[in-house]
């Protein structure tokens, strides 16, 4: 198997930041901001699966939306095939958007109940006007239906006639019909039964092999991500905490937050982690993020410096990046003084 980690970079997100204003008063002036995404950078290579993992509200879905420009980033850039995607407008943006699509989390609400399967799958073709005749359109729909394992006899049926797994196959068919380079999978199996999850993941892997797709796979479930990902980025409160190959992250987690996440994963070799660090307290409000390291209010390794300034991202081994003061050799004795967090509750 080719080493996907050495493949060509097709997408580069640099310093992506998204702040949502909290408006109040007659004139809707911004009183505060929700810091959904803070200075996040990463690359996606051709044919790889790049996973983004974290608890609910950590900014993983916002990252996907900013990459696709479903929401405009407050700052930062996304480069797609060497072109600044964030600067594109009009026809150029429409053309570039064909290269990136999205599979939604909920196969129940993401399909229009009044459209047939054929029309749902053909919708991107209709918008992009990529066919000359109706027969061409139909042939493409049938080709994609076969690829995702949908019976052609179901072509003129409606979404409510299908199970969750079949609906997600329809969503996947719609996402790949324009032959994208990158598919953003936003929790694509979390609404499905465990037995169906494996089938959908196998399908995604099969399609990746056949079509050379790159996936940005967003999930809160490390056990799902472990098996499908080439590289994993762990996020917390809008920040990148750790980034490594899947193998390296599970064998040698460096960030206290990743260790804590692994400690609460039920299906992955928990025995490997001798000293389990279980997460205590709630995720702080992104409208009022903690000073310094955003994880310091829950970190079992917290030191005096952690509340004072944010850690820099450091390469702890080749390709393994970690944002934590534990790897800063320049700290003074005073800065290293342990200061365990006071457990806080939000709300
Ligand atoms: Fe914990 Fe400090 Fe590292 Fe943040 S910087 S993860 S608080 S040790």
Q: Which residue did the predictor score with more confidence, 65 or 343?
A: 65
Q: Does the pLDDT of residue 266 top 50, yes or no?
A: no
- Residues in the ligand 1 pocket, defined by CB under 6 Å: 256, 293, 295-296, 299, 301-303, 306, 311, 324-326
User: Which of these, 310, 335, 307, lies nearest to 324 by C-alpha position?
Assistant: 310
Q: Highest mean pLDDT range out of 108-112, 188-192, 234-238, 281-285?
A: 234-238
Q: Distance between alpha carbon 278 and the CA centroid of its chain, in Å?
A: 23
Distance 129 CA to ligand 1 centre (A): 51
pLDDT at 27 (0 to 100) = 74
Q: Highest mean pLDDT range out of 11-20, 22-31, 184-193?
A: 11-20
Q: Ligand 1, closest atom to CA 256?
A: 6
Distance 297 CA to ligand 1 centre (A): 9
Helix-strand-coil percent breakdown of the chain, rounded to 5? 35, 25, 40
- Which pLDDT band, with edges at 50, 70 and 90, does 268 fall under? very low
Q: Which residue did the predictor score with more confidence, 199 or 106?
A: 199
Q: Ligand 1, closest atom to CA 300?
A: 1
Q: Which residue did the predictor score with more confidence, 300 or 139?
A: 139
- Which pLDDT band, with edges at 50, 70 and 90, does 10 fall under? very high
Is the pTM for the entire model greater than 0.95? no
- Which pLDDT band, with edges at 50, 70 and 90, does 270 fall under? very low
Cβ-Cβ contacts under 8 Å for 5 (sequence gap 6 or more): 45, 48, 230, 231, 245, 319
Neighbours of 13 (CB within 10 A): 23
Number of H helices, E strands in the chain: 9, 12
Q: Which residue did the predictor score with more confidence, 25 or 261?
A: 261
CATH 2.60.120.1440 holds for 4-237: no
Helix (H) or strand (E) run with residue 102 in it: strand 100-103
Distance 223 CA to ligand 1 centre (A): 24
pLDDT at 4 (0 to 100) = 57
User: What is the tens place of the pLDDT at every residue in 196-227?
Assistant: 999 999 999 999 999 999 999 999 988 889 98
Give 314: exposed, middle or buried? Use CB within 10 Å, 0-12, 13-18, 19+: middle
Distance 298 CA to ligand 1 centre (A): 9
What are the φ/ψ torsions at residue 325 (nearest 5 degrees)? -65, -15
Least confident of 135-139, 223-227, 229-233: 223-227
User: Which of these, 292, 300, 309, 294, lies nearest to 339 by C-alpha position?
Assistant: 300
pLDDT at 272 (0 to 100) = 43
Q: Does the pLDDT of residue 111 top 70, yes or no?
A: yes
Which residues sit opposite 243 in a β-bridge? 233, 321
pLDDT at 276 (0 to 100) = 55
93-100 own/partner pairs: CB under 8 Å, 24+ apart: 93/69, 94/128, 97/68, 98/124, 98/128, 98/178, 98/179, 98/180, 99/180, 99/181, 99/182, 100/11, 100/67, 100/68, 100/180, 100/181, 100/182, 100/183, 100/184
CA atoms of 93 and 87, how far apart (whole Å): 9
- Tell me the CB-side half-sphere exposure of residue 285, using CA atoms within 13 A: 10
What residue has token string 């964030």?
86
Q: Does the pLDDT of residue 341 top 50, yes or no?
A: yes
Give 230: exposed, middle or buried? Use CB within 10 Å, 0-12, 13-18, 19+: buried
Question: Stretch 38-62: mean pLDDT, rounded?
Answer: 96
Per the CB < 8 A criterion, the answer to whether 230 and 52 are in contact is no
Question: Stretch 35-57: mean pLDDT, rounded?
Answer: 96
DSSP strand pairing (75-80 vs 239-245): unpaired
Q: Ligand 1, closest atom to CA 299?
A: 1
Strand, helix or coil for residue 129:
coil
What are the φ/ψ torsions at residue 71 (nearest 5 degrees)? -130, 140
- Which pLDDT band, with edges at 50, 70 and 90, does 296 fall under? very high
- In the chain, domain spans: 4-237
DSSP strand pairing (49-53 vs 214-219): parallel
Which residues sit opposite 270 in a β-bridge? none
Q: Does the pLDDT of residue 317 top 70, yes or no?
A: yes
């Amino acid at each position: 198997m080719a080493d996907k980690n050495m493949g060509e970079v097709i997408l580069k997100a640099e310093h992506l930041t998204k702040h949502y204003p909290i408006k109040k008063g007659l004139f809707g002036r911004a009183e505060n901001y929700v810091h959904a995404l803070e200075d996040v950078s990463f690359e996606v290579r051709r044919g790889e699966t790049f996973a983004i993992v974290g608890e609910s509200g950590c900014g993983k879905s916002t990252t996907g939306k900013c990459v696709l420009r479903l929401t405009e980033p407050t700052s930062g850039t996304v480069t797609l095939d060497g072109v600044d995607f964030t600067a594109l407008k009009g026809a150029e943006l429409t053309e570039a958007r064909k290269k990136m699509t999205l599979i939604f989390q909920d196969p129940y609400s993401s399909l229009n109940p009044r459209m047939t399967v054929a029309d749902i799958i053909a919708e991107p073709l209709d918008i992009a006007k990529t066919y000359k005749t109706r027969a061409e359109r139909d042939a493409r729909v049938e080709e994609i239906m076969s690829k995702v394992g949908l019976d052609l006899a179901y072509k003129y049926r409606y979404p409510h006639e299908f199970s969750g797994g079949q609906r997600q196959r329809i969503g996947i068919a719609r996402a790949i019909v324009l032959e994208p380079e990158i598919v953003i999978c936003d929790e694509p199996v979390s609404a499905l039964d465990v037995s169906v999850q494996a089938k959908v993941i196998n399908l995604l892997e099969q399609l990746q092999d056949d079509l050379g797709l790159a996936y940005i796979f967003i999930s809160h479930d490390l056990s799902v991500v472990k098996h499908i990902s080439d590289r994993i980025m762990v996020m917390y409160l809008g920040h990148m905490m750790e980034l490594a190959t899947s193998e390296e992250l599970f064998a040698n987690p460096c960030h206290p937050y990743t260790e804590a996440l692994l400690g609460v994963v039920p299906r992955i070799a928990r025995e490997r982690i001798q000293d389990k660090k279980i997460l205590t307290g709630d995720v702080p409000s992104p409208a009022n993020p903690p000073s310094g390291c955003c994880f310091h209010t829950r970190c079992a390794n917290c030191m005096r410096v952690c509340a004072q300034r944010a850690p820099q991202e450091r390469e702890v081994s080749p390709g393994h990046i970690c944002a934590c003061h534990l790897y800063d050799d320049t700290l003074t004795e005073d800065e290293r003084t342990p200061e365990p967090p006071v457990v806080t509750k939000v709300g």
